Amino acid sequence: MKKYIITALFSILSVISVAAQSKKDAKISGLYQNYIAIKSALASDDANKASIAATQFIKISSEINNKAVSEAELNNLRKDAKIIAGSKNISAQRESFHKLSDNMIGLSNEFKLSQNPVYVQYCPMADGSWLSDESKIVNPYYGKSMLSCGKVKSTIK
């Protein structure tokens, strides 16, 4: 009887742990999806859409438990996203996107951001990397003027 109760208790704790992990992963996945929206807006030279996506990014980041991601990491992400959200100048947004991307790449080393592969891409002209949900290069640092400039550096599965 004791053995059965202990086994049942471990089973319940495992289910709770998996459910908590799934909820945490969903929030981080939502953060990644908003990051992709910022990247796409910058690639299409749309400062307004980048601002809107960055505002949503900040909102999602505020919903992430700082036990999942450190408060320092979240603050760095928010700081860069706030500059993008508060600016209508695409050059300023792209400069902050550099830092946001570096921080998101760091986060991708700690957490699974997506069920699909995540591509780390690099533009030598901007000397900057970014994350993408597709292997095709769509450069957020130069937009339409150099949309395909860059290469895939690595793939996170």
**What's the CATH number where 51 sits?**
1.20.120
Beta pairing class for 128-132 and 118-123: antiparallel
Asked whether residue 14 carries a pLDDT value surpassing 70, the answer given is no
**Strand-by-strand arrangement of the 128-132 sheet:** 128-132, 118-123, 151-156
H or E element at residue 35: helix 2-43
How do residues 94-136 score in pLDDT, each as one tens digit? 999 999 999 999 999 889 899 999 999 999 999 999 999 999 9
Give the pLDDT mean for 65-87. 92
Give the pLDDT mean for 67-89. 94
Q: Is residue 46 situated within a structural domain? A: yes
Q: Is residue 50 situated within a structural domain? A: yes
Q: Is residue 108 situated within a structural domain? A: yes
Q: Is residue 150 situated within a structural domain? A: no
Q: Is residue 14 situated within a structural domain? A: yes
How do residues 61-73 score in pLDDT, each as one tens digit? 999 987 888 899 9
Domain hosting 58: range is: 2-113
Residue type, 62: S
pLDDT at 19: 35
pLDDT at 100: 98
Q: Is residue 131 situated within a structural domain? A: no
Q: What's the pTM?
A: 0.83
Q: Is residue 95 situated within a structural domain? A: yes
Contact assessment for residue 107 and residue 25, using Cβ atoms and an 8 Å cutoff: no
Based on the structure, what is the number of domains in the chain?
Answer: 1
pLDDT-derived band of residue 3, with 50, 70 and 90 as boundaries?
Answer: low
Q: Is residue 10 situated within a structural domain? A: yes
